[in-house]
A and B are shown apart, each in its own frame.
Chain A
Amino acid sequence: MLTTEPNLTRPDDTYARLIASHDGLTEAESHAFNARLILILMNHIGEDAVLAEALAQARRPA
């Protein structure tokens, strides 16, 4: 099951690291970076059902 309760050990630090890692990238490079990151995280999660849930959550209109 997809974890939607807080799970990051250092949320503010991790979020800042995510934003900072895009520093100096063009928009195209940022997109490519994000694609690589998604693939790496997907592999870490592994479970198809969990990823399907995550994809559905991300697709839901805000």
Chain B
Amino acid sequence: MKDLVPERYALAFRLYPYARSPDQDTPAPPRHPVVIVGGGPIGLATALDLGRRGVPVVVLDDHEGVGLGSRALCFSKRTLEICDRLGAARPMLEKGVQWNLGKVFHDDRLLYEFNLLPEGGHGFPAFINLQQPWFERFLHDAIVAAQAAGAPIQIRGRNRVEAVTPAADHVALDVMTPEGPYRLEADWLIACDGARSSLRNMLGLGFDGRVFEDNFLIADVKMKADFPTERWFWFEPHFKSGDSALLHKQPDDLWRIDFQLGWNIDRAKELQPANIRARVDAMLGTGVDYALDWCSIYTFQCRRMERFRHGRVLFAGDAAHQVSPFGARGANSGIQDADNLGWKLALVLAGRAPETLLDSYEAERVQAADENILNSTRATDFITPKTAVSKLFRNAVLELAETLPFARSLVNSGRLSLPCTYDGSALNGPDCAQMPARSRPGSPCPDAPTPEGWLLNRLAPGFTLLTVDATAPDSLAAHGVQVPRLALATTPELRDRYLGSAPGAVYLIRPDQHVAARWATYDAAAVTAALARAIGKEGSC
């Protein structure tokens, strides 16, 4: 019999085998509040967020689990904080590798070492290295736990979307399964189907940007070497294994090795194990015992859709925007998309916020995508200079970096992925000039220790009124939204991160832990107005 939904790639973990849904036997297409297409990290995180908010969600994936290959590797602090809010971060932290020390080489010379020395007083490290299949598996484990606690999440394996038909108040989908086709409808459709998004193509939407003419060979190598847990980056390495090279540690005795190959290469030849081994041997030196675990050659682009919201279809993750891998901004920015979208869609579905709140998802995440594309493009231009003069300055920076500290700040092999501050967002309310810039409206809340645990763990799933040495009621209710208060007394960290020179502080914090507005003292009318603004009820009429 013909396989109606053939597998396109091998699986690392089979997590949600195909099972017939009652939807396949109903005469009229059933309607769901939210359908998510794509069971990758962004689809799973979005489903988990919505499900934990009580929103029924159906995930359609054309496979039955997580694809093989380590792919995304560096997960940032903000991603871990979001996953912690979703109940998935602890196993990630336990399995992931933490590192602080990096070394930068040019040719055969060590230019300098850097220690990230992350700021103390945060619940999570700057980032961890973890293979993408494990990241997805831990998200799926959290979904299973949430389902057991009553979260209305369904994942349907080997359900491939064949056609999408947008209407004014819903989206209709034609879905193929191993047992044949069926139809269903969604009030809202979220496309998390990756950089080659078939939904984007079916809707005829563009994906414009810049293509980088370079190929990178990625080799995951298994070895029990006593290499230190450090990130090593070579520019123009002496071992001639590529124009640049990267060595990075993963869990399970795996090492990620990246070689920059240039544009005109013979792909098939470069992927032959003997040729990969020759490059790895040159890098590691002779006599190192290792096995090739997974290899791939990739090229990349920096591009994004013009709009992330098309009526009742919302795009998130790589489907909406794509960056080069330098700086770890792919999966990390996609998780922030999910973080931004979940609470907004839940409020709209509950009838507590206007549909236009979803336009702020687009505005804020387009701003973030542009920031990520800018950072990623700059790192790529430094690693692979496009003109002779660009290379001249790049190498001048590298030569100076060995002796002059200032030049090290110009070496760019990928900047640490930091979450976007939504400056200028329509949801932002009043600011207070005495308080630190890092927690201004639009910023993700900086974590801090409190006597009862980490600050971020103490924020409510919805809005929170955070007070530091300020009086306010224990909770307020306005516009159909309950806002509990979290009352804290000053500590050195809270002074540094929230108070500044103000004697007290009142912060209105969004469900995605971004600051909506802040004041030196509590004023009921001001807080209520800022809440209205933060849920899109102001200025939209």
- On A, residues with C-beta under 8 Å from B are 31-32, 35-36, 38-40, 43
Asked whether, in the complex, the Cβ of A32 is within 8 Å of the Cβ of B392, the reply is yes
List, in ascending order, chain A residues with CB within 8 A of B397's CB: 39
A43 touches B393 (CB 8 A): no
For the complex formed, measure the closest distance between the CB of B515 and the CB atoms of chain A, giving whole angstroms: 27
A38 to B400, CA, bound (A): 11
Answer whether residue B116 sits at the interface, using C-beta atoms and an 8 A cutoff.
Answer: no
Q: Is the CB of B392 within 8 A of A40?
A: no
- Shortest Cβ gap from B106 to chain A (Å): 13
| Size class of the B contact interface (CB-based, 8 Å) | 10 to 19
Contacts A36-B399, A43-B407 aside, 9 further interface pairs with beta carbons under 8 A come to: A32-B395, A35-B395, A36-B396, A36-B400, A39-B393, A39-B407, A39-B410, A40-B400, A40-B404
21 contacts between A and B (CB under 8 A): A31-B392, A32-B392, A32-B399, A35-B392, A35-B393, A35-B395, A35-B396, A36-B399, A36-B400, A38-B393, A38-B396, A39-B393, A39-B396, A39-B397, A39-B400, A39-B407, A39-B410, A40-B400, A40-B404, A43-B406, A43-B407
A-B pairs, 6 with minimum CB distance: A35-B396, A43-B406, A36-B396, A35-B392, A35-B393, A39-B396
Contacts of A35 in B (CB 8 A): 392-393, 395-396
Task: Compute how far the CA of A39 lies from the CA of B401 in the bound complex, rounded to whole angstroms.
Answer: 11
Docked complex Cα distance between A40 and B405 (Å) = 11
- Specify the chain B residue showing the minimal Cβ separation from A31: B392
Contacts of B392 in A (CB 8 A): 31-32, 35
Give A37 Cβ to nearest chain B Cβ, in Å: 9
Number of A-B contacts (CB under 8 A): 24
A40 to B133, CA, bound (A): 45
The smallest beta-carbon distance between A26 and chain B, in angstroms, is 14
Shortest CB distance A29–B (Å) = 11
What distance in Å separates the Cβ of A20 from its nearest Cβ neighbour in chain B?
A: 20
Nearest A residue to B399 by beta-carbon distance?
A: A36
Interface centre among B396, B399, B407, B410, by most chain A C-beta atoms within 10 angstroms, is B396
> Residues of B contacting A31 with CB < 8 Å?
392
Residues of the B chain whose Cβ atoms lie less than 8 Å from the Cβ of A38: 393, 396
The CA of A36 and the CA of B403, in the complex, are separated in Å by: 12
Chain A residues with Cβ below 8 Å from B404 are 40
Output the nearest chain A residue to B410 by Cβ-Cβ distance.
A39
The interface bits of chain B over 394-429 (1 if a CB of A lies within 8 angstroms of the residue's CB, else 0) are 011101100010110010000000000000000000
Which B309-346 residues have a C-beta within 8 angstroms of A?
Answer: none
How close is B260's CB to chain A, nearest CB, in angstroms? 22
In the complex the two chains form, is A32's CB within 8 Å of B406's CB?
A: no
Chain A residues, Cβ within 8 Å of B399? 32, 36
* Distance, CA A40 to CA B395, complexed state (A): 14
CB neighbours (8 Å) of B406 from chain A are 43
Nearest CB in chain A: distance from B67 CB, A: 44
CA distance A47 to B393 in the complex (A): 19
| A39: B residues at CB distance < 8 A | 393, 396-397, 400, 407, 410
Q: Measured between alpha carbons, how far is A34 from B151 in the docked complex, in Å?
A: 63
Closest to A36 in B: B396
Cα of A43 to Cα of B393 in the assembled complex, Å: 14
A19–B407 Cα gap in the complex (Å)?
A: 24
Name the B residues within 8 Å of A43 (CB-CB). Answer: 406-407
Which residue on chain B has the smallest CB distance to residue A28?
B392
Alpha-carbon separation in the docked complex, A40 to B397 (Å): 9
CB distance from B413 to the nearest CB of A (A): 17
Bound-complex Cα distance A40 to B410 (A): 12
For the complex, give the distance between the alpha carbons of A4 and B393 in Å.
25
